[in-house]
Structure 1
Amino acid sequence: MSQVVIWRPQALIDLAGAWDDAAGRLQAQADAVDDEVAGSAGVFTGSAARAAREAIGPTTAGLRGVCRALILAAAQARDAAEVITRCRDRVLEVVTDARGDGCAVSEDGTVAPPAAPSALLVACSGGSEAVARTMLDVRATELTRALQGALSALGAADAEAATAIDAAFDATPADPAPVRPAGAAGNPVADWPHLSQDAIAAAVAGMSDTDRRRLVESRPHEVGNTDGVPWETRIAANRINIADAILDQRRRIEVPDEVKLRAAVAPTLEAADAERLWAALNADPSMRAAAIAAYDHDARSRIDYYESLLADVADPVDRDRRVPRQILAFDPQRESFIELSGDLTRARALAVLVPGLNTTFDGAADDVATARRFVAGSTGDVAMITYLGGPFPTGQLVAGLVDATDPRYALKMAPRLVAFSEDVERRAGSMPVTYVGHSYGGSILGTAESFGLTADRVIYVEAAGAGVGVHDPSDWHNRNPDVLRFSLTAPGDPIGLVQGIPLGPHGADPDRLPGVIPLAAGRTLTGGPMGGLSSHSDVLNEPSDAWRNILAVITGDREHIRVG
Structure 2
Amino acid sequence: MTLPDVAQVLTWRPEALTELADEWDSAAARLQAQADTVDDTMAGTSGVFTGAGAGAARHAIGPTATGLHRMCRALVLAGAEARDAADVIGRGRDRVLAVLADARAEGCPVADDGTVGPPSEPSALLVACSGGSDSAARAMLDERATELTRVLKGALSALGAADAEAAQAIDAAFDAASADPAAVRPAAAAGDPVADWPQMSQDSIAGRIAAMSDAERQRLIEQKPHEVGNTDGVPWDMRMAANRINIANAILDEHRSLDIPEEVTLRAAVVAVRDPADAERLWATLHVDPELRAATIAAHDRNARDRIEYYESLLADVPDAVDRDRRVPRQILGFDPERESLIELSGDLDRAHALAVVVPGLNTTFDGSADDVATARRFVAGSGGEVAVISYLGGHFPTGELLGGVKDAADPHYALQMAPRLVAFSEDVERRAGAIPVTYLGHSYGGAILGTADEFGLTADRVVYVEAAGAGVGVHDPSDWHDRNPAVLRFSMTAPGDPIELVQGIRSGPHGADPDEMPGVIRLDTGRRLTGAPMAGPSAHSDVINEPSDAWHNLLAVITGDREHIRVK
**Structure 1 residue 203 displacement after superposition:** 1.4
> Retained in 2: the 8 A contact 1:370–1:541?
yes
Q: In structure 2, what is the equivalent of residue 357 of structure 1?
A: 362
From 28, 31, 37, give the equivalent of 2:33.
Answer: 28
Q: In structure 1, what is the equivalent of residue 298 of structure 2?
A: 293
From 457, 466, 470, give the equivalent of 1:461.
Answer: 466
Give percent identity, aligned residues only.
Answer: 73
CA distance in 2, matches of 1:257, 1:399: 32
Using structure 1 for the length normalisation, give the TM-score.
0.96
CA distance in 1, matches of 2:525, 2:267: 58
Deviations 1:202-235 (A, max 9, x none): 2112211111110000000000000000000000
**Structure 1 residue 44 displacement after superposition:** 1.1
Deviations 1:475-527 (A, max 9, x none): 00000000000000000000001100111110000000110000001000110
CA distance in 2, matches of 1:464, 1:53: 56
Q: In structure 2, what is the equivalent of residue 3 of structure 1?
A: 8
| Matched position secondary structure for 2:193 | coil
> Retained in 1: the 8 A contact 2:267–2:283?
no
Q: In structure 1, what is the equivalent of residue 481 of structure 2?
A: 476
**Structure 1 residue 253 displacement after superposition:** 1.3
CA distance in 2, matches of 1:236, 1:272: 46
Q: In structure 2, what is the equivalent of residue 97 of structure 1?
A: 102
Alignment partner of 1:415 is 2:427? no
> Retained in 2: the 8 A contact 1:177–1:218?
no
Which 4+ runs in 1 deviate beyond 6 A? Answer: 261-268
CA distance in 2, matches of 1:503, 1:181: 52
**Structure 1 residue 269 displacement after superposition:** 3.3
CA distance in 1, matches of 2:159, 2:568: 51
Q: 1:291 to 1:355 in 2, by over 3 A?
A: closer
From 248, 263, 281, give the equivalent of 1:269.
Answer: 281
From 104, 118, 124, give the equivalent of 1:119.
Answer: 124
CA distance in 2, matches of 1:271, 1:182: 54
Deviations 1:326-363 (A, max 9, x none): 00000011111100000011100000000000111111
Tell me which amino acid in the other structure corresponds to 2:516: D
Name whichever of 249-258 and 365-374 sits farther off. Answer: 249-258
Deviations 1:271-299 (A, max 9, x none): 98555434x79xxxxx96x6653331000
> Retained in 2: the 8 A contact 1:184–1:190?
no
**Structure 1 residue 129 displacement after superposition:** 0.6
Q: In structure 1, what is the equivalent of residue 198 of structure 2?
A: 193
Q: In structure 1, what is the equivalent of residue 47 of structure 2?
A: 42
**Structure 1 residue 174 displacement after superposition:** 3.5
Q: In structure 1, what is the equivalent of residue 73 of structure 2?
A: 68
Q: In structure 2, what is the equivalent of residue 508 of structure 1?
A: 513
Q: In structure 1, what is the equivalent of residue 406 of structure 2?
A: 401
Deviations 1:13-41 (A, max 9, x none): 01000000010011100111111111112
CA distance in 2, matches of 1:527, 1:184: 62
Alignment partner of 1:450 is 2:455? yes
Q: In structure 2, what is the equivalent of residue 436 of structure 1?
A: 441
CA distance in 2, matches of 1:127, 1:352: 66
**Structure 1 residue 45 displacement after superposition:** 1.4
**Structure 1 residue 254 displacement after superposition:** 2.5
Tell me which amino acid in the other structure corresponds to 2:122: P
CA distance in 2, matches of 1:19, 1:441: 40
Alignment partner of 1:207 is 2:235? no
Alignment partner of 1:531 is 2:543? no
> Retained in 2: the 8 A contact 1:224–1:233?
yes
| Matched position secondary structure for 1:105 | coil
CA distance in 1, matches of 2:151, 2:74: 37
Q: 1:275 to 1:190 in 2, by over 3 A?
A: closer
> Retained in 1: the 8 A contact 2:354–2:387?
yes
Structure 2 residue runs of 5 or longer lacking an equivalent are 1-5, 272-278
| Matched position secondary structure for 1:392 | coil
CA distance in 2, matches of 1:358, 1:256: 32
Tell me which amino acid in the other structure corresponds to 1:139: R
Tell me which amino acid in the other structure corresponds to 1:277: D
From 25, 49, 64, give the equivalent of 1:59.
Answer: 64
> Retained in 2: the 8 A contact 1:62–1:174?
no
> Retained in 1: the 8 A contact 2:270–2:282?
no
CA distance in 2, matches of 1:269, 1:465: 41
> Retained in 1: the 8 A contact 2:20–2:79?
yes
Q: 1:42 to 1:343 in 2, by over 3 A?
A: same
**Structure 1 residue 176 displacement after superposition:** 2.0
| Matched position secondary structure for 2:388 | strand
Tell me which amino acid in the other structure corresponds to 2:456: F
> Retained in 1: the 8 A contact 2:430–2:459?
yes
Using structure 2 for the length normalisation, give the TM-score.
0.95
> Retained in 2: the 8 A contact 1:268–1:274?
no
Alignment partner of 1:541 is 2:546? yes
Alignment partner of 1:307 is 2:312? yes
Q: Cα RMSD over matched residues?
A: 1.7
Q: In structure 2, what is the equivalent of residue 520 of structure 1?
A: 525
From 145, 148, 155, give the equivalent of 2:153.
Answer: 148
Deviations 1:380-439 (A, max 9, x none): 000000011110111111010001011111111111111000000001110000000000
Structure 1 residue runs of 5 or longer lacking an equivalent are 282-286
Q: 1:507 to 1:209 in 2, by over 3 A?
A: same
| Matched position secondary structure for 2:161 | helix
> Retained in 1: the 8 A contact 2:202–2:232?
yes
Tell me which amino acid in the other structure corresponds to 1:400: G
CA distance in 2, matches of 1:153, 1:494: 52
> Retained in 1: the 8 A contact 2:266–2:286?
no
Deviations 1:142-184 (A, max 9, x none): 0000000000000000000000000111112433233111242
| Matched position secondary structure for 1:170 | helix
| Matched position secondary structure for 2:325 | coil
Q: In structure 2, what is the equivalent of residue 230 of structure 1?
A: 235
CA distance in 2, matches of 1:19, 1:102: 44
Q: How does 1:545-560 map to 2 (within 5 A)?
A: 545-560=550-565
Q: In structure 2, what is the equivalent of residue 284 of structure 1?
A: none
Give aligned pairs, total.
Answer: 557
**Structure 1 residue 261 displacement after superposition:** 7.6
| Matched position secondary structure for 1:269 | helix
From 243, 252, 260, give the equivalent of 1:247.
Answer: 252
> Retained in 1: the 8 A contact 2:228–2:234?
yes
